Structure 1
Amino acid sequence: MIFAIEEINNSTELLPGIKLGYQIYDSCASVPVAVHVAFQLSNSLDPVFYTGDNCSQSGMVKAVVGENGSSLSISLSRIIGPFNIPQVSHFSTCACLSDKQQYPSFFRTVPSDQFQADALAKLVKHFGWNWIGAVRSDSDYGNNGMASFLDAARKEGICVEYSESLSRTQPRSRFQRVADVIRRSTSTVVVAFAAAGDLRLLLEELLLEPSPPRQWIGSEAWVTNTDMLRFSFCAGTIGFGIERSVIPGLRDFLLDLSPSKVAASPVLTEFWEETFNCRLGKSAATDKRLCDGTEDIKTLQIPYTDISQIRITSMVYKAVYAIAHAIHNAVCQKTNSTTQCDKFTRIESKEVLTQLKKVNFSQHGYDVSFDANGDPVARYELVNWQKRESGSIEIVTVGHYDASLPVGQKFRTNRNLTWVNGGTQVPVSVCTNSCSPGTRKVLQKGKPICCYDCIPCPEGEISNVTDSPDCFPCPNEFWPNAERDTCLPKPVEFLSYNEVLGIILAAFSVGGASLAIITAAVFYRNRTSPIVRANNSELSFLLLFSLTLCFLCSLTFIGAPSEWSCMLRHTAFGITFVLCMSCVLGKTIVVLMAFKATLPGSNVMKWFGPPQQRMTVVSFTFIQVLICTIWLVLSPPFPMKNLTIYKKRIILECALGSAIGFWSVLGYIGLLAVFCFVLAVLARKLPDNFNEAKLITFSMLIFCAVWITFIPAYLSFSWEITVAVEIFAIYWLQFWTNTVYIFAPKCFIILFSRKTPKKNLMKQNQSF
């Protein structure tokens, strides 16, 4: 402060011809002492009269530089604020002081803790820590700073295991308790928003009984304090400090201490005696030697002579210059190229307060200005306590934080950091390890949100990010993989020719069709034989043709469904079945009418000759064709992906389109079967020779039994079994009811019986 004032007084540009005076008070970091000084300042100093014209006679203080602590500045500002005396602090960082309603005359050259709290929260988040401990000074600085930090940390998703306050005025038991909390904690990162004097006592307590390694995160009040570097177990500490500055000429000024200057100042006298352990004159203690004048401050390596870590000092320098510029703007006017100042103008402190709000200048490359809250632009250095090869600790700047930059660019690092105990790996401090993809977070009851259990996603759902709070279902046509972190397409399934079941069913279909063709060949070769001629060969060949089509139509049920196959499989099934049933019905009517025609006077056969038989088959079949045509026109079957039967698979099947059409086709087939069965029952007692009534009766009985059991089976089984049941029903009905029961006996007689059919007929006729 003295250096800055002397520099201003010797300046020809700033306040030319005007010299600033000052008076320094020591508040002893005590609020009562600071309040006492504040009253002295507000009551004005005793007027000092000079014989010359080089000094005004005003004793009123125009501005105040200070205080260090926020609590002291709060007390000071509440007293001098109503008198409009501006106060420029160099180290009071409490965000509460930005409230212009309560502190209208307060300014500062050091950034508000609100910016530092946000920066610390982003720093903790940047390194992936979400489980931390917090220690603060029990003061306005510590309480308000920690409150701002906790609020910012909460927004970043950071949880605090404990938050302890302390003050150097508290008993040692308090520090012991806080130290025990740190030792027992599970978090490995400790954020300390504390004054150096308060934290020093805690670290001394931890030094007596070391705790597990802890990564310390410091606020600007202590992280750049060189006195704290003696705590070697804090190596790796990181935090934000006030930007370092270079003040030209300051080192020479500090080292220019002559015995006369030292003796004239009680503060310098005390400093000199403590530094060299000697006494100056009678003021010193008697147990120390007298200073002999050979003491040279330039030969010492002490914090006083080390200006490499000028941080808070530069804030004082800026504060003095800000007040000087405000006074300059109030009393000086620039005309052309010269500046004229009225040194006899009696300015009020209120004018200085008004001009301070407008101050905007640059000194040695550092900009100084205040926003509407009296705060400067927030800029910090990220510092790291790194061990030298000698084992000592040094403060190294490893990054910067500039609140004026856009989001995402405010924080940057430019050097490698060392961590707790000099390690190079970033320490881990989480309540629970991250939940991997495929799981979701479930909060633990009664614990912060950072403490949770990782629960696997339920069936059908996935999570594809780390620490996912929820799982979400896959789209309909997808299903999670085994890890449940990716949705994979569901496999599409249908009854294929490559499957065992498909091969078996196809073999049965082809085999049945081949058997029908062989039977037709046998009948054709023996078409002139009495047994073929007596069995209505035209209807028999038509029946065998329809049987062949029935067996082959079952092949349409195998393979990937398409629009044409879906329409073909049901309609071909219905039409060929009706054609087959029409032929059987025609044969039944022929048998019945043939024996009725043997009665005397009966001419019924002329009404049921070959033309009428053909018309019967065509008529019955045409009705089914008409039903199928209406079905296909109005609502035909179509291929669809069934997503409901199985969760993990897609079934490609044919939808019926119109259920009424489907059941109409089946119902008509069943109606013909019942009608045929009734006629066969009526003809069952006719003579056996070439009488098919009993065979047709038994085949229709089997047909109806299979048909009745087919319907509930079709409705109950799964898709693959349903298709197999449908194919099996076709095979069973045609193979057993027609091929076996109707044609097998005749083929046996034709191929293996050597008796003359005519003789057999004669014997039967005699019996008849």
Structure 2
Amino acid sequence: MVSSEADQYSGIIRLLLHFGWHWVGLFAVDDDTGEHFLQLLESLFAQNGICSAFTQGIPKKSFWHSEHEMNIFALNIYQHFTNSKARTFILYGETMTIIWLSAVVVLVVPEGMELASLGKVWIVTAQIDFAVASLQKGLDFRLFQGAISFTIHSVELPGFQQFLQIVKPYWTEGDSFLKDFWEQVFDCSFSDHQESARVYETCTGEEMLESLPGQLFEMSMTGHSYGIYNAVYAVAHALHAMYSSSFGHREIVGGKEIQHLQPWQLHPFLQGISFNNSVGETVSFNEKREMGAGFDVVNLVTFPNKSFFKMKVGMVDPTALKGQEFVIEDDTILWHRDFNQVLPVSLCSDSCQPGYQKKKKEQEKFCCYDCARCPAGKMSNQKDMDDCIKCPEDQYPSSDQDQCLHKAITFLSYGELLGISLASLAVLFTIITALVLGTFIKHKHTPIVRANNRDITYILLVSLLLCFLSSLLFLGQPRKVTCFLRQSAFSTIFSLAVSCVLAKTITVVVAFMATRPGSSTRKWVGKRLTNSIILSCSLIQAGICVVWLATSPPFPDFDTWSLTEEIILECNEGSFLMFYIVLGYMGLLSLISLTVAFLARKLPDTFNEAKFITFSMLVFCSVWLSFVPTYLSTKGKYMVAVEVFSILASSAGLLACIFFPKCYIIVLRPELNRRKQLNRKNN
């Protein structure tokens, strides 16, 4: 008629987890049942992240062999009260177990210290009955104030209170139990001996059970009584089912009474019964021949006069719907007075707050740990997390590492200061280049413009103008078109510009060599050589770009890992190998131009461009040599800014070093822009 102990163990675990008690002391009777209880509970503890702070056996005996033996046991018990961090104790045993424990603790409590000051939360199993234990005169239960006890499920039956109010000791003749019980609880005697009458008052038999304090007699229906009540009705229903069967019918028809009925013959009928008792609860047995009614969870409320009251605060019901098997009303529980109605904490270590993770202590149980800050890039948003976790790709940990925040999407836009500055420089240099080109076109017949191939000069200026404009493709939100065009357009235009510089330099060298008597290089002087250099060098770069765009073209992409707090909206280059091949080819052209210009820098001629080209290519190569490490060491929109600045700086270097000196002569020193100056020797 009583639920399986497994349901009680499940209720204990749910209770501990509900209140967050993970560091628990265990007291159990020192016998086979207590050992089985400890083994089973330790297994359940390990599965649910709970640890036992200690296990203490309580001897199952009625006397001690020596006072020394009892004192040692008492000191061990008291040590658990004073030294353990556990604020929650589980007590398993029989009624004598709690009597022994209460008596032993009293022996070692220091003089002047109240028993009630040993504030703990006691979880008591259903095998222990406080009411029976209270029959021991003078037993103080204030040690167990606020205890949570599992009891056999019961419901108050209609008419039961009225029945107890009229119970009399002489109702059952020949049964001395009620008479002895009456004498014990009312401190009276039915004996007529004069000696006994001096010690006890005479029992009249008219005493009322409801006048007894609760610790001596409970007027409410206990779990055991409720089980017996249901058992009687279950047997009655089983007998009725048997009598109603064909076998029982033949016996009745034959006029014979079933006097030789064996108890086991009721088993098939008991297994199949199902009825509602007087309070509407269904009584039936499961496949394990158990009632499975569960357990009530009661709170022990004690009073200064050593009386107590048991208040139901929850229930363990294995037959309930999923998630409702364990119910407890936190607000109705009265804790031990030491806790001041604040939920007791029973932990080996303080809780790790969000932003921290557990760090196990060496050679200690897993419930004992230190709290360590979450590693960089991780967070914990709950207490007592074993490990910190990474945020999703589009989020990052807060400064306290206790939550994930959404990353901001960034790119080098026209609306911010850096974007405005770079765009303004690009437009300014474009205007300056256009003015220089206009100046050269206006003075196209002057010697300084016609020197070193006028057509190449125009092509170079146009390519520089396009270089400045190409930098604008890198600004703003990356889109399919801009990502597709910007690198290929920039590299092709720059290769064209460097090819023009190389062609101008080679033109200077070839022209000088052609002035020597009998030189065979005169046939190379002309547009054929310069056009071949410009077309071949530019087409090679264009071919590389076509292969790049055909195989793995750049595309808009989100970079979620480079920066902690930002998502970078960027152009994925598609193939970084092709990107560096393009840069490498452009660098090769620049080095060739620098080398040729450096060798030709001292050729005699007033308008010799080689010296200016040398300076311009030094600036150009310096910019792009510093670009690679700077580009690789920056993140996000600043990578784009570095590339845009390199485009503007290198283009401006070519413009300034090659064309500003000529513009100075054309605009400010026109007297130097004459043919006789071209033929003048350096001396």
TM-score class normalised by the smaller sequence: 0.7 to 0.9
CA distance in 2, matches of 1:475, 1:168: 62
Q: Given that residues 462 and 485 in structure 1 are in contact (C-alpha distance below 8 angstroms), is that contact kept between their aligned partners in structure 2? A: yes
Is the alpha carbon distance of 1:341 and 1:132 closer, same or farther for their aligned partners in structure 2, counting shifts above 3 Å?
farther
User: What secondary structure is seen at the aligned counterpart in 2 of 1:239?
Assistant: strand
Report the alpha carbon displacement of residue 721 of structure 1 after superposing the two structures with TM.
Answer: 6.7
CA distance in 2, matches of 1:235, 1:725: 74
2:125 to 206, 219, 242: 219
1:737-763 deviation per Cα after TM superposition (whole angstroms, max 9, x unaligned): x43343233322223336475585498
**Counterparts of 1:179-578 in structure 2 under 5 Å?**
179-207=78-106, 209=109, 210=115, 211-225=117-131, 228=134, 231-242=141-152, 243=154, 246=157, 251=164, 254-255=167-168, 257=170, 270=180, 275=186, 277-278=188-189, 280-281=191-192, 285=195, 288=198, 296-298=206-208, 301-302=211-212, 307-316=219-228, 335=249, 342-343=256-257, 347=260, 351-356=262-267, 358-359=269-270, 360=273, 375-386=290-301, 392-413=307-328, 416-421=332-337, 424-497=341-414, 502-534=419-451, 536-578=453-495
Aligned partner of 2:145: which letter? A
Which fold has the larger relative contact order, with Cα–Cα distance below 8 Å and residues 6 or more apart in sequence? 2
Report the alpha carbon displacement of residue 548 of structure 1 after superposing the two structures with TM.
Answer: 1.8
User: Does the alignment pair 1:113 with 2:5?
Assistant: yes
1:387-433 deviation per Cα after TM superposition (whole angstroms, max 9, x unaligned): 57999532233343333334433333578222223954432223234
CA distance in 1, matches of 2:296, 2:599: 110
User: Does the alignment pair 1:123 with 2:15?
Assistant: yes
Query: Sequence identity of aligned pairs in percent?
Result: 31
User: How high is the TM-score relative to the length of structure 1?
Assistant: 0.71
Aligned partner of 1:409: which letter? Q
Aligned partner of 2:207: which letter? I
Report the alpha carbon displacement of residue 528 of structure 1 after superposing the two structures with TM.
Answer: 4.0
Q: Given that residues 437 and 458 in structure 2 are in contact (C-alpha distance below 8 angstroms), is that contact kept between their aligned partners in structure 1? A: yes
CA distance in 2, matches of 1:141, 1:186: 27
User: Does the alignment pair 1:163 with 2:55?
Assistant: yes
Is the alpha carbon distance of 1:179 and 1:725 closer, same or farther for their aligned partners in structure 2, counting shifts above 3 Å?
closer
1:118-169 deviation per Cα after TM superposition (whole angstroms, max 9, x unaligned): 3333333333322222223335555545555554454443322222222352
Aligned partner of 2:356: which letter? T
User: What secondary structure is seen at the aligned counterpart in 2 of 1:254?
Assistant: coil
Which has the larger Rg? 1
Aligned partner of 2:663: which letter? C
Is the alpha carbon distance of 1:245 and 1:357 closer, same or farther for their aligned partners in structure 2, counting shifts above 3 Å?
farther
Is the alpha carbon distance of 1:549 and 1:160 closer, same or farther for their aligned partners in structure 2, counting shifts above 3 Å?
same
User: What secondary structure is seen at the aligned counterpart in 2 of 1:483?
Assistant: coil
CA distance in 2, matches of 1:760, 1:297: 147
CA distance in 2, matches of 1:232, 1:619: 103
Q: Partner of 1:132 in structure 2? A: 24
CA distance in 2, matches of 1:554, 1:540: 22
Is the alpha carbon distance of 1:450 and 1:520 closer, same or farther for their aligned partners in structure 2, counting shifts above 3 Å?
same
Q: Partner of 1:33 in structure 2? A: none
CA distance in 2, matches of 1:315, 1:695: 110
Q: Partner of 1:44 in structure 2? A: none
Aligned partner of 1:131: which letter? W
Is the alpha carbon distance of 1:255 and 1:500 closer, same or farther for their aligned partners in structure 2, counting shifts above 3 Å?
same
1:324-377 deviation per Cα after TM superposition (whole angstroms, max 9, x unaligned): 77788889975599898745x6627xx223325633486756776666655433
Q: Given that residues 588 and 676 in structure 1 are in contact (C-alpha distance below 8 angstroms), is that contact kept between their aligned partners in structure 2? A: yes
Is the alpha carbon distance of 1:316 and 1:179 closer, same or farther for their aligned partners in structure 2, counting shifts above 3 Å?
farther
Is the alpha carbon distance of 1:176 and 1:197 closer, same or farther for their aligned partners in structure 2, counting shifts above 3 Å?
farther
User: How high is the TM-score relative to the length of structure 2?
Assistant: 0.78
Aligned partner of 1:254: which letter? V
1:510-559 deviation per Cα after TM superposition (whole angstroms, max 9, x unaligned): 34333322322333343344433445443333332222222332333344
Two-structure CA RMSD over aligned residues (Å): 4.5
Q: Given that residues 357 and 370 in structure 1 are in contact (C-alpha distance below 8 angstroms), is that contact kept between their aligned partners in structure 2? A: no
User: What secondary structure is seen at the aligned counterpart in 2 of 1:446?
Assistant: coil
Is the alpha carbon distance of 1:436 and 1:170 closer, same or farther for their aligned partners in structure 2, counting shifts above 3 Å?
farther
Report the alpha carbon displacement of residue 213 of structure 1 after superposing the two structures with TM.
Answer: 1.1
CA distance in 1, matches of 2:86, 2:255: 61
Q: Given that residues 334 and 340 in structure 1 are in contact (C-alpha distance below 8 angstroms), is that contact kept between their aligned partners in structure 2? A: no
CA distance in 1, matches of 2:235, 2:583: 104
Aligned partner of 1:117: which letter? Y
Q: Given that residues 99 and 133 in structure 2 are in contact (C-alpha distance below 8 angstroms), is that contact kept between their aligned partners in structure 1? A: no
CA distance in 1, matches of 2:274, 2:551: 88
Report the alpha carbon displacement of residue 715 of structure 1 after superposing the two structures with TM.
Answer: 7.1
Is the alpha carbon distance of 1:462 and 1:406 closer, same or farther for their aligned partners in structure 2, counting shifts above 3 Å?
same
State which drifts further: 238-247 or 270-279.
Answer: 270-279
Report the alpha carbon displacement of residue 255 of structure 1 after superposing the two structures with TM.
Answer: 0.7
CA distance in 1, matches of 2:432, 2:673: 25
Report the alpha carbon displacement of residue 196 of structure 1 after superposing the two structures with TM.
Answer: 2.3
Q: Given that residues 642 and 652 in structure 1 are in contact (C-alpha distance below 8 angstroms), is that contact kept between their aligned partners in structure 2? A: yes
CA distance in 1, matches of 2:524, 2:463: 25
Report the alpha carbon displacement of residue 199 of structure 1 after superposing the two structures with TM.
Answer: 0.9
User: What secondary structure is seen at the aligned counterpart in 2 of 1:225?
Assistant: helix
Q: Given that residues 585 and 676 in structure 1 are in contact (C-alpha distance below 8 angstroms), is that contact kept between their aligned partners in structure 2? A: yes
CA distance in 1, matches of 2:587, 2:318: 86
Q: Given that residues 713 and 722 in structure 1 are in contact (C-alpha distance below 8 angstroms), is that contact kept between their aligned partners in structure 2? A: no
1:194-223 deviation per Cα after TM superposition (whole angstroms, max 9, x unaligned): 322331232234346225212222223434
Aligned partner of 1:347: which letter? H
Is the alpha carbon distance of 1:526 and 1:135 closer, same or farther for their aligned partners in structure 2, counting shifts above 3 Å?
same
CA distance in 2, matches of 1:453, 1:470: 13
Report the alpha carbon displacement of residue 571 of structure 1 after superposing the two structures with TM.
Answer: 2.5
CA distance in 1, matches of 2:592, 2:182: 131
CA distance in 2, matches of 1:341, 1:469: 75
Aligned residue pairs total: 650
Q: Partner of 1:34 in structure 2? A: none
| Structure 1 runs not aligned, ≥5 long | 1-108
CA distance in 2, matches of 1:637, 1:331: 91
CA distance in 2, matches of 1:623, 1:124: 77
State which drifts further: 518-527 or 645-654.
Answer: 645-654
Q: Given that residues 681 and 697 in structure 1 are in contact (C-alpha distance below 8 angstroms), is that contact kept between their aligned partners in structure 2? A: yes
Is the alpha carbon distance of 1:416 and 1:667 closer, same or farther for their aligned partners in structure 2, counting shifts above 3 Å?
closer
Report the alpha carbon displacement of residue 239 of structure 1 after superposing the two structures with TM.
Answer: 1.4
CA distance in 1, matches of 2:541, 2:533: 13
